[in-house]
Amino acid sequence: MKRIGIMTTGGDCSGLNTVIQRLYRAASLRGWQTIGILDGTDGLCETPPRIIEFNDNTLPIEAARLAGSFLHNGRAQALNFETAAKTGKLEKFNKQLRKSLLELKLDAVILIGGNGSLSLAWCNREIYNGLQLICIPKTIDMDIPLTDKTIGFNTAVQQLTSFCDQLMLTARSHHRWFVTQTMGRDCGQLALNAGIAIGATAILIPEIKFDVDSLINHIKKSPTDYGIILVSEGISLRGHSGKPADMISRKLTAAGIMNRTAYPEHTQRVGDTTAADRILAARMADCAIHAIENNETYVMTAINDCTCKTVSLQQFFESGEVTPDPNIPDIKTSDAYISPDDPLLDIATDMGIYIGETK
């Protein structure tokens, strides 16, 4: 009988509970024992490690649609990779993780995380030596290399779209523009997808340079006197500081364009998991279980060309743009961004959306 551990790390998103429940269900049908590691690597740093034994009543199927993680994603004040690196305790931290995993007598660990968590897993892979490490990509940022989809992204797009749909109604009533700031860090996928869904007037993303004067002219030439300008949190404006939406708003106000800012913030991370994300969670859970059966390790589940299969963590790491982690000294993260030939960019342009200086 195999004994597997499941943990969620990094930022939360919708779909985590779905993949946890599907993993447990598939494992139990095989007669495997499943434990949940609470608070990710934080839980492994406690003595004894903080875990929960799964059974049929631990996470009911009707609760699997809910946002957040039943296993939690860590505490801000706990010792983790970031705080350990900053305080010179990284070696001690890694040894504690290794010690806890050995104490739990696991055959495999399934880590559900974003590009930072997966990069850390690869860069510190000796922690999992002798265990099967299977990673499942989740993030609302869609910034993980080698997969067309990540758990949580579809629900986040729906949440942001619903938020903007309501803003559009009050925008029309008051002949006003709303500068709405999205999450996504340095990747513009969330803003781009939601922007096309709502028919935004403009979408500003980190990957494409934009010109404020061109943006203003585009708004002034709009057939309507209201609308949404989506601004990804990762954009920058030379000579200006502060929140990106505030910077753009000030420029529009100076040009005589009536506007307000809006911040959906963490509502983008929540919401009942969409059917698309639930199906994706089930597919990736199934792929992870088969990877354990096939004795694979140091792999990540991925969706490409509608096929779900595993890719090596090394390939994942080396396929992205490897950059220093802003929060963890001497650690690098593999990032994916919007490609210049992404068809959604052409679609946005064809819809009359200002997307930046693309030509």
Question: How many angstroms separate the CA atoms of 24 and 10, rounded?
Answer: 21
What per-residue string of b and e applies to 247-257 under the rule 16 or more CB within 10 Å gives b? Answer: bbbbbbeeeeb
3-state secondary structure of 35: strand
Backbone angles phi and psi of 243, in degrees to 5? -70, 135
CB 308 within 8 A of CB 287: yes
Judge whether 272 counts as a catalytic residue: no
Backbone angles phi, psi at 19, to 5 degrees: -70, -35
Please state the separation of Cα 25 from the chain's center in Å: 24
Residue at 127: amino acid letter: I
| Per-residue b or e along 261-298, where b marks 16 or more CB atoms closer than 10 Å to that residue's CB | bbbbeeebbbbebbeebbebbbbbbebbbbbbeeebbb
Q: Which of 39, 141, 186, 277 is catalytic?
A: 141
Q: Which residues are known catalytic residues?
A: 141
